[in-house]
Amino acid sequence: MLPAANNRLVKNTSYKVVLPFYIYAALAFLLGCILLFTASGAFTQHYFHPKILAITHTMALGWGTMMILGAGHQLLPVLIEEQLFSNVLAYLSFVFAAAGIPLLIYAFYTFNMHWPAEVGGTLVNAGVLCYLVNLAIGMSKSKQENVHAVFVFTATLWLLLTTAVGLFLVCNFTRSILPMSSVQYLSLHAHLGIVGWFLLMVIGVGSRLIPMFLISKFTNTKRLWSIYWLINIGLVSFIIIYIYLHTIRLYLLPVIAIIAALILFAHYCKNAYKQRIRRNVDEQMKVSLLSVWMMAMPLAILLITIVLLINNKENTQLVLLYGFSIFFGWITAIIFGMTFKTLPFIVWNKVYYDKAGLGKTPNPKDLYSNRLFSAMAIAYLGGFILFSAGIVFSSGVILKSASAFLLLAAVLYNWNVFKLVLHKPNMA
């Protein structure tokens, strides 16, 4: 099942398009963990801190978004049963985003909101626009209506809105083009990306990949459409409340909609797991499934934060923990799992596709080290739990120790990724 699907995919999307995104994302994750280690003390301060902003955007754009864009170019032909419209647009998407992200990271780290931030933000928007155009034209040619593709397309629209708002906020620091300061719009900007981009995309793609890699017979399109509408209605209602109503209690309504969507998604994954044909679940799928349950952590934190705000109390540690649990939590966990379920097939096709039948070739799963993956997972989970505790207790010692574990996880992840990418033919 998987090799056939992947062979069809490689005919449509060249590895030359996809691999740069994977490599860039891996290096960005390493950079994010280096910055976390060197600036761990910032997490005992306010969340609007230059170094925290730099780390957040490294993880959100360099790690999460670049990985998803790469996987999107890879999976798009499978979802819509149509060829990728343009490799040129795909290359431009990478070049623009790859050039813009370092400028933004530098701008936030040094808090230079002049040309580095503005040029960086413009380039990132250009990269997202290229991806969106490629996706839209490809979908317009497809004869199949696919709920997963609708998730991906809608998520990309939200991403473009997120990056556009981000560019306005950057420009607002020096030009005052918005009615309030940029800090007042941070929550809006953040949740456009977290819910509209990451949550919709992760569920849209995850609901396709999780059953596929479990070799599960389960499918429920009606439930996926319910999830889709719950998330979008929740996000739109949040925007309306944020801009026009300014009533903290009302924020419980979109949160309830998102919670309902996640419960449905968790149940979807549970059914896919129960109806799987492959009884043995590998470590990569275990980490991916764990990421589904890790979504509960930021939601619980968000509910507590809203209750505190209703009572005119603000807890900075909770806000920091909320962001950390998203970008270093469920987003990172699902990328860990899915990297080593998708990248081995891409590399196998790159190296062995033309050599199949000429001799015995290794299996895709043999191209990376499962031992390295297990060590990475242990270091990551230990670091994540410890760092979360360090934020809660504002302990610099715990934060530094935990960030060392996360840095180790990033090193092991990169080691395994480059072991894959640099693989040479090895035929019996």
* pLDDT (tens digit per residue) in 104-127: 999 999 999 999 999 999 999 999
Is residue 369 situated within a structural domain?
yes
pLDDT 10s digits, 155-172: 999 999 999 999 999 999
Is residue 416 situated within a structural domain?
yes
The residue that leads in pLDDT, 4 or 87, is 87
Q: Please give the pLDDT value at position 187.
A: 93
* Helix (H/G/I), strand (E/B), else coil: 276: strand
CB 33 within 8 Å of CB 403 = yes
Mean pLDDT of 219-235: 97
Confidence band for 79, pLDDT divided at 50, 70 and 90:
confident
Domain coverage including residue 402: 317-345+362-420
Confidence band for 427, pLDDT divided at 50, 70 and 90:
low
Is residue 35 situated within a structural domain?
no
Is residue 167 situated within a structural domain?
no
Distance CA 404, CA 408 (A): 6
Q: Please give the pLDDT value at position 357.
A: 63
Is residue 283 situated within a structural domain?
no
Q: Please give the pLDDT value at position 428.
A: 56
pLDDT 10s digits, 267-301: 999 999 999 987 888 899 999 999 989 999 999 99
H or E element that contains 157: helix 147-175
H or E element that contains 401: helix 396-421
**Nearest Cα to Cα of residue 130 among 171, 69, 68, 219:** 69
Which pTM was predicted? 0.93
Is residue 93 situated within a structural domain?
no
pLDDT above 90 for 242: yes
Is residue 340 situated within a structural domain?
yes
Confidence band for 83, pLDDT divided at 50, 70 and 90:
confident
Q: Tokens 């797991």 label which residue?
A: 273
pLDDT 10s digits, 322-367: 999 999 999 999 999 999 999 999 998 888 877 766 667 888 888 9
Give how many domains the chain has, as a whole number. Answer: 1
CB 177 within 8 Å of CB 171 = yes
Is residue 393 situated within a structural domain?
yes
Burial of 296 (0-12, 13-18, 19+ CB in 10 A): middle
Highest average pLDDT, of 57-61, 246-250, 288-292, comes from: 57-61
Q: Please give the pLDDT value at position 141.
A: 83
Which amino acid would we find at residue 358? L
How is residue 102 written in tokens?
């370092």
